[in-house]
Structure 1
């Protein structure tokens, strides 16, 4: 991404512009509901753990149901999923408004409805964010991702203040009702949007197979796995700022709803700047250096909040934490979406959202328990310690640079095999690739084969092996198994740039050059065959 202005150029796309603009209002409503729910809880109890549980309730569904939501978004019509999720959130916000107006909102009811509101959020989020690829050109995707982060943080910067004003002026009923109204524009935008049909010659993935495919892909892709682990740690450490804003406002600063809104506004304004800076600096500063600077900034902010009782100093700390935390998360968000191929993009994104939100939920519970046992300052000190320790994860779980979008390869040799006699459920399918490798290039060949193993397993193979012919030492056999013919077809469609490069390098090592000989067999069930 060359400049921030490049991101805004994406708004020339009318469909994206309409959805992006209206999504700002939906995000505003989300923050207004979050602020209102947290403030409502402070009116029912002074227990820090209960107040922090509001954030846990809203974000916990991202941890529990994120992968399910991402799988649905990859397999089914994303537009329909988005519309259903938005309607569900509207219904829950309306129910909160009614119960609040009737003075029937108990802590249990509030937490339960916040949890369900979060379920609607995770149903909406991965389908919406991955629909970007259907709204803009491929080279505009990073800019559109950055713009979505900016829209979220614009709402984050103003939503809490608006929520605080509505709470002070008209009460919780009006604040919850505002959330209902805020969802209407983006719902209309998605009703008007007509995405292009995704044409594929392959059958749709089965739901549970889709979930297991995502788990395999993440497990066998170290760069993505490291990114997600770092995401969770950041979520745990960073969850304290928003979760404890009500307590900082009331206990540390002896303020009310207005101070609470101002704190979250400072956090949100910083977040907007952090998203802009991340878009600018990610091409000139190494990812690990950005994350290290962000961690130091967040740790410094947490310590400042722990030891200060000055409104201006604490506001500055919230502002800096918003810049640093969002810069780190925006970098990781772009990395995940650009690293994951299209077939698993929504699932990888939902894993990212699950871990950042799940980390925030776990963090809110952890810091709430710490504050209940000790005090607010101790919780902020512990959060700062985790931020600082996360810097050393660059040695155990490094994050590499953001790659280009994997390219889609043309249909090749696998599809030349006729499947007229094979149903999609036939299997197991055994694939063998036969190579002839000279002794002087064996070491290089084995090194490439080690990488090939991870690629095959992450794309759908259930087992993989490499063997050598005893009678013919230059003859090597790569063998992998797919449970069904359907799985083999999907594995072939998932081939990406890395696999193509590997295949080209391996082919050059063959005696005489050229591709390997490929044999595909289907296992035969002998259990029903009797021998007379």
Structure 2
């Protein structure tokens, strides 16, 4: 028996995962863009196309602003990242409970409005020439709190927009938009920072956020695939944790996602360090590396969309893509030139987004609707909650062992995590996990 030798899936063990009776679009339609046949999802998708470009422009501009204000201190950049992701540790589980209780569409409108205001404040401070490093740190915390609420809510809302059968395709299309923006946004940001500075880019992101708000406001609530209403009650957070703990299949995915995301997927810090401190480039060089990584992630997202329209997500693909991510990252770390390093980022991007999309789809398609918000809250916690550790750790490694070290150390840890989780999965063949995963 081989862990990766079968096309294992994580099927649902809950009868409640089916769409409610009478909801439209139950029949699955194939095609790379199958989810776009659903009007509510088209509105969401259109807003994301615009907003994600703005988000990536702000992300690059913020990293570079921190670099400038701190005198190109890698640790300062790591601190900014940690502050931005730390609220996930405190809020994502609670956000999942909230998402199960309330109207997700209205909650997302409120959160996106807050993100718009955050970008406006940072932009005004920057344009006025009064921004200081502590201002950025405070606004990183504000953004982190909003993001901790937004991500699990948005993840759980995907199934409500398209129905369970189209979740893998919709997840992949969301990733394709996100990663298309990673191609366009950093390229724009890199040259725009040189031309006009960082301040106006934050204001541009605030304007782009209005597209998401408009799309959410225009949706037809009657055509959402909503599950049973979850009334407020004590112990709902612990109920969600017990649900996951009782599902060995979900636990395996969560553990693997935590280690790979915390130690392997640290590009938000390590790319800026490599661009500036290893190859000596300016903001445009950093933007180009981010774009090359995004070429790979966009390609991987399109492949995932095509795959998600035809068949269920596979556990074998999850393990293979995670292992490929780790090995390619180690190889990239030792590339001798800026060009060779940049080219290596393309297959790294493909492996990264394949892993993330597969993990997301496996989790979303295997939980009951009334638990989806809480499970996705936990998923977001393990996906992003390690960043307060990984951000400063990446900066420390770069300062101590050199700018390339976050890549070869992080890649090695990711590959090792795959081996360990695979071994645990193999040993679990005589446990109830065998009944959840079809290991041939």
TM-score using structure 2 length: 0.84
Residues 4, 276 of structure 1: 8 Å contact kept: no
Query: Match of 1:65?
Result: 91
Selected match of 1:21 from 25, 42, 46: 46
Indicate whether 1:212 and 2:226 are aligned.
no
Alpha-carbon distance, 1:309 to partner? 3.9
Question: Which of the residues 115, 133, 137 maps onto 1:111?
Answer: 137
Instruction: Choose the corresponding residue for 2:348, options 306, 312, 321.
Output: 321
Aligned to 1:395: 423
**Of 182, 193, 209, which aligns to 1:183?**
209
**In the alignment, which of 352, 358, 362 is matched to residue 335 of structure 1?**
362
C-alpha distance 202-351 of structure 1, shift in aligned 2 (>3 A): closer
Deviation at residue 75 of structure 1 after TM alignment: 0.5
Shift of 1:292: 4.1
Asked if the contact 1:226–1:399 (Cα under 8 Å) also holds between the matched residues in 2, the reply is no
Q: 1:10 maps to which residue?
A: 35
Show the counterpart of 2:261.
235
Aligned to 2:161: 135
1:105 aligns to what SS in structure 2?
Answer: coil
**Pairing 1:260-271 to 2, within 5 Å after superposition:** 260-271=286-297
What does 1:381-420 align with in structure 2 at a 5 Å threshold? 381-392=408-419, 393-397=421-425
Q: Which moved more, 1:308-317 or 1:138-147?
A: 138-147
Q: Quick one: distance in 2 between partners of 1:333 and 1:202?
A: 23
Match of 1:458 in 2: none
- Tell me, yes or no, if structure 1 residue 40 matches structure 2 residue 65: yes
Contact 1:288–1:398 (8 Å) recurs in 2: no
Question: What is the DSSP-based 3-state SS (H/G/I as helix, E as strand, rest coil) of the residue aligned with 2:394?
Answer: helix
Per-residue deviation, residues 119-139 of structure 1 (Å, max 9, x unmatched): 212222222232233322442
Greater RCO structure (CA 8 Å; 6+ sep): 2
- Aligned partner of 2:13 in structure 1 is none
Asked if 1:91 corresponds to 2:117, the answer is yes
Residue 468 of structure 1 corresponds to none
**1:182-218 deviation line (CA, Å, top 9, x unaligned):** 1001101111123138888877132x52211111111
The 5 A counterparts of 1:74-473 are: 74-196=100-222, 204-206=231-233, 208-280=234-306, 287-392=314-419, 393-397=421-425
SS of the residue corresponding to residue 244 of structure 1 reads helix
Query: What is the CA distance between 1:396 and its match in structure 2?
Result: 1.5
5+ residue gaps, structure 1, are: 401-446, 455-497, 499-532
Q: State the Cα deviation string for residues 478-530 of structure 1 (Å, max 9, x = none).
A: xxxxxxxxxxxxxxxxxxxx9xxxxxxxxxxxxxxxxxxxxxxxxxxxxxxxx
User: Is the Cα–Cα contact under 8 Å of residues 156 and 373 in structure 2 kept in the other structure?
Assistant: yes
Report if the CA contact (8 A) 1:238-1:360 is conserved.
no
Alpha-carbon distance in structure 1 between the residues aligned to 2:344 and 2:161: 37
Cα distance, 1:250 vs structure 2 = 1.2
Q: Which structure has the highest helix share of the two?
A: 2
| Larger-gyration structure (1/2) | 1
Does the aligned pair in 1 maintain the 2:227–2:370 contact within 8 Å?
Answer: no
- Is this contact kept in 2: 1:69–1:122, CA < 8 A? yes
Which SS does the other structure have where 1:376 is aligned?
Answer: coil
| Matched position secondary structure for 2:45 | helix
Distance 2:303 2:330 in 1: 23
Cα distance in 2, alignment partners of residues 262 and 220 from structure 1: 45
Match of 2:19 in 1: none
| Mapped partners of 1:83, 1:132: distance in 2 | 15
| Superposition CA RMSD, Å | 3.0
Contact 1:167 1:257 in 2 (8 A): yes
For residues 199 and 286 of structure 1, what CA distance do their matches in structure 2 show?
23
Change (3 A) 1:265 1:180: same
Quote the Cα distance in structure 1 between the aligned partners of 2:427 and 2:52: 29
Report how many aligned residue pairs link the two structures. Answer: 404
Change (3 A) 1:110 1:293: same
The structure whose residues are more often strand, as a share, is 1
The answer as to whether partners of 1:226 and 1:398 remain within 8 angstroms in 2 is: no
